[in-house]
Every structure is written in structure tokens, then in C-alpha cells.
Amino acid sequence: MDQIIAGIGDALTLINILYVALGVFIGIFVGAIPGLNAPMAIAIAVPITFYMSPLAGIAFLIGINKGGTFGGSIAAILLNTPGSPEATSTAFDGYPLARQGKGLKALKMALYSSVFGDTFSDIVLFTVAAPLALVALKMGPPEMTAILIFSLTIIAGLAGKSMIRGLIAAALGGFLSTVGLDIETAEPRLTFGFVELDDGIPLLPMAIGLLALSEIIIQIENHVLAKERDTGSIDVFSRDVPRENKAVSGREFMGCFRTIIRSSFIGTGIGALPGIGAVVAGFLGYAAARRASKNPDEFGTGKLEGIAAAEAANSAVTGANLIPLLALGIPGSLSAAILIGAFLIHGVDPGPLIFKEYPRLVYGIFGAMVIANILNFVIGSFGLRFFALLVRFPKSVIHPIIVVLCIAGAFAIGNTVFSISIMVVFAVLGYFMRKLDFSFATFIIGFALGENFEISFRQTVILFAENPAELLTHWIALGFILLTLFSVWRILRRGTN
């Protein structure tokens, strides 16, 4: 109890609150600009946290993630162009409402639903993560190997349109995680004479290149080839807009409350499973609301319930994604995979031991998450006018700024030009992965899990080298192996239908 109180007290210090507020502001700012998203902002911002305390740095990044989830709905509603992928389903009813002169009402419903869903999943995280970590501590190498195989299979099968491409991306990420010194013999592997690679390929320059710089290359290409579609933004702050079109009444919110609760459960469940993601949660929440509605034909024509369903579901994924990260050391999403870099910068290894070795930090993070939700509501409410203007911000200004931030962030990792070179190489790789529809989310998660998988697998081989049949006595490992086979069968069957 002392550690819980101390952790919450740390989160309530002025400096940490200010860092969370800054993170939320940056997240909404980035999310509101089409083509930019929270994982990209987190990747660029991680090097900055090197100069912060562990709690301040991680809280800052969590603030970016939470703000970015809501921020994506702004462009979706005003431009019919989702600022982030998870806001795609928000545009179905958000943009029609904006065209009816109810854009501000739609934005406020998106904000309220997003904060509610996010808070709901955080509460589940607080109550589930620690007990799950206790269970994880009783698992040995065979169980962890089986769980990691299952997680990578689910991620590869559901994170993209093609399971084969997903598996290839995950396998390539895992293969590149072997670069560096062998974990047993300390012999260099795949370093090709570069001493800088003895510690392996650095995660953060890789993430910056794959997520941020490759996206800028794509956007510049689209601009040059005139592929970008301009739907025209809508002025939601005109004085001619009636008052009832600017606010969400208590009756309107309560009319959507059952939908918000349902979507929060859906998003939390999806978020707790590694790799499925907020995009799937948003669509499932929207589809569930439509099926439960007495007037399903009204969805897609400008219905507040559609916005509430999508935003509550995709935002509920944010907190739940940290359940597998903190309890098992398995990142549940792309953002969580990048957060691993922030933990490692401060010498903290996420996983079941984190509750035993760093309880004060964990509960400080929990406290910061609650603060981030409150600030997301406050900053979102008072800053809607400013954030709505961002959708008109010229990309000729945005792109050079992001490129400079990418270079500075990559250089800050090791203070060497080699880190920038790594970033550029993976930016090119990311460009082709996007063109060929390979999931860079599965790639990065595969890379992040690669080392743990190799260690667990090698230990399992050593344990059962003389008597492989002894594996049959490990029921948890066998259970996850069977789940893996069943999941592969279901995913392949779905692909053939």
C-alpha cells in the first residue's frame, strides 16, 4: 500500500502533470493532421525522454498516445479523412453530421466517448495487470515460448490483409533481432564488421524510420503525383450555427450510453489481445451498435451513436494494450512496442517482474494515466477551435519539421551518425513495406519480441534435449500450442472464404 500511495504521489507532482499535459497536447495536435498518428509521434519523442525521470518520460509518451487516439477523429469528422487509422469508422457518421452543420456536436461526442472508453480500459488494466503478472511469474521457458508463438501468430494473422505477409513481416523482424552478439557465446552475428551493431539494431531509429520518415516519403510522393484527395474542411465555429448544433445535451449522451458501455467492453477485450489493434475495435464497436439499433439504416447518415460506438471502442484499446506489456512483457500494439524503448532507456524491463522490482513506478504510471484522461478531456474541450484549424495546416510546413525531428531523434539515441543511417535504411524499407502491404506493426513487434523468444526457446531446447516427451507435462504450453494451431486454421479458413 505504501508503494501505491508513493507512486500516485509521484504522478501528482507539478512537473509530471505538466509533462502529461504536454504529451496530450502533442498527441491531439499530431492526430488531427491527416497522415500523422500517435505511434509516429511516440517514436520521435522517445529520445527526448532520456533527459526525464522514468515516470515523467513514460507518462509523457502515454499522454501522446491518449491524445493521438482522440485527435484522429478531428480530421475524420471535418475532412472525411481519418487523422489516424483507428478513426476510420468515426468518419462514417462524423462527416455527414459535419455537413449538416453539427460538426462541433460530433467532435464533442467523439471526445466524451473517447475519454470514457479510455478510462474504462484503464480501470481494467489497474485491476487485472498485477494478478496476471503473478500468474506469469509461475511460467517457465516452455510456457513463455508457447505464448510468444501464439502472440506472433495472432499479430501476423490479424494485423494485415494477408496472413502470409504478416508472418513474413514478423519473421523478418524476429530475424533482424538476432543481429549483434550471440546471447550465449558473445560471437558477433550479422554485424558485417560494424562495431556499432554489436549491441544489435537500435529499436528507436528503426521505429522512427519505419513509421515517421517512410510516411513522409509516401506523402511527398502523393503530393508530387497529385494523388491526395481534398474533400474540403468544414467550418464548425461559424456564428450562424445554432446553439443546439454545437453541444451534446445530457439526454443525447445518455441516449448513447449503452452503446458507449458496449463499445468500451469490446475495445478493452480487443486491446488485451496482442496485435489486433484499435482499427479492428472501432469497426467491431460500430458494427455492434448498428446491429443493436432499432434503426440500423440511420447509421452512416449522421448519427451520434455511430460516433460514440467507434470512439469508445478504439480508445478503450489504449489502456488495455498495456495489460500484456506489463504483465507478460508482450507489446499489445505498435505504440506499446515503441514504449518498450522508453522503458529500456531508463533501465526498466517490462514484464511480470516489473511489479516486484518497480512497484512505485508502475503505480505512478497508473496515476499518470488517470491524469492523462482528465487532461485529454480538458485540453480537448478548450482546444477544439485550435485543433480544428490544424486540418488546414499546409503540409509544405509540416513535412520539413517532421524530417528535422526524425534526424534529431535518431541522432540523440547514440549521438552518432550511424543511428541516422539506420533510420534512413529502415525508412526505405518502410516505404516498400507500405507499397507492398506488409505490416510494419507486425515487423516491429516481431523485432521487439525476438530476443525474448530466442532466450526462451533456447532454454526450452536445453530443458527437453534428453527427454522431449516431458513437454507433455506442461499443460499451459500445450494449451497455447493448440490455440496457435487452431488460430492458424481459422485465419486460413477465413482467408479462403
Question: Exposed (0-12), middle (13-18) or buried (19+): which is 243, by Cβ within 10 Å?
Answer: exposed
- What mean pLDDT comes out for the span 166-170? 80
Cα separations in angstroms, 384 against 1, 103, 352: 39, 11, 39
pLDDT at 231: 47
Give the burial class of 466: count Cβ atoms within 10 A of its Cβ; 0-12 exposed, 13-18 middle, 19 or more buried.
exposed
Instruction: In whole angstroms, give the CA distance from residue 219 to residue 42.
Output: 19
C-alpha cell at 306: 455511430
- The sign of the CA dihedral 352, 354, 359, 364 is negative
Residue 83 has a pLDDT of 61
Distance CA 179, CA 197 (A): 7
CA of 399: how far to CAs of 97, 222, 223, 404, in Å? 30, 13, 11, 9
DSSP string computed for 41-80: HHHHHGGGGGGS-HHHHHHHHHHHHHHHHHHHHHHHHHHS
Burial class (CB in 10 A: 0-12, 13-18, 19+), 107: buried
Q: How confident is the model at residue 51 (pLDDT cuts 50, 70, 90)?
A: confident
pLDDT at 397: 74
Q: How far is CA 63 from CA 28, 339, 401, in A?
A: 9, 12, 21
Residue matched to cell numbers 458507449:
260
At 163, list the grid cell. 496472413
- Phi first, then psi, for residue 189 (nearest 5°) are -125, 125
More confident residue, 315 or 402: 315
Alpha carbon 145 to its chain's center: 24
**pLDDT tier, 74 (very low <50, low <70, confident <90, very high otherwise):** confident
Taking CA atoms, 483 is separated from 156, 272, 479, 490, in Å, by 15, 16, 6, 10
Note the pLDDT of residue 264. 93
For the whole model, what pTM was predicted? 0.74
Q: Report how far residue 338's alpha carbon sits from residue 379's, in angstroms, rounded to the nearest whole number.
A: 25
First to last CA, the chain: 53
Query: What is the phi-psi region of residue 150: left when phi exceeds 0, alpha when psi lies from -120 to 50, beta otherwise?
Result: alpha
DSSP string, 142-179: HHHHHHHHHHHHHHHHHSSS-HHHHHHHHHHHHHHTT-
Say what the pLDDT of residue 217 is: 86
- In whole numbers, what is the pLDDT of the chain averaged over residues? 81
H/E element holding 435?
Answer: helix 417-435
In total, the chain counts a number of residues equal to: 497
Torsion sign (Cα): 418, 440, 82, 253: negative
Assess contact for 271 and 333: CB atoms under 8 A: yes
CA distance 137 to 380: 40
Distance of CA 12 to the CA centre of its chain: 25
Q: Position 149: which residue type? A: I
Specify the pLDDT at position 194.
84
pLDDT at 35: 65
Tell me the pLDDT tens digit for each residue of 338-388.
888 888 888 888 877 888 888 899 899 999 999 999 999 999 888 877 777
pLDDT band at 79; cut points 50, 70, 90? confident
Q: Are 373 and 118 in contact (CB under 8 A)?
A: yes
Q: Per-residue pLDDT averaged across 83-101, rounded?
A: 79
Q: With CA atoms as reference, report the closest residue to 135 among 320, 271, 327.
A: 327
Q: What is the pLDDT of residue 84?
A: 66
Q: Which of 362, 479, 446 is nearest to 170 (CA)?
A: 446
Q: Does residue 260 surpass a pLDDT of 50?
A: yes
| Distance in angstroms (rounded) separating the CA atoms of residues 400 and 354 | 39
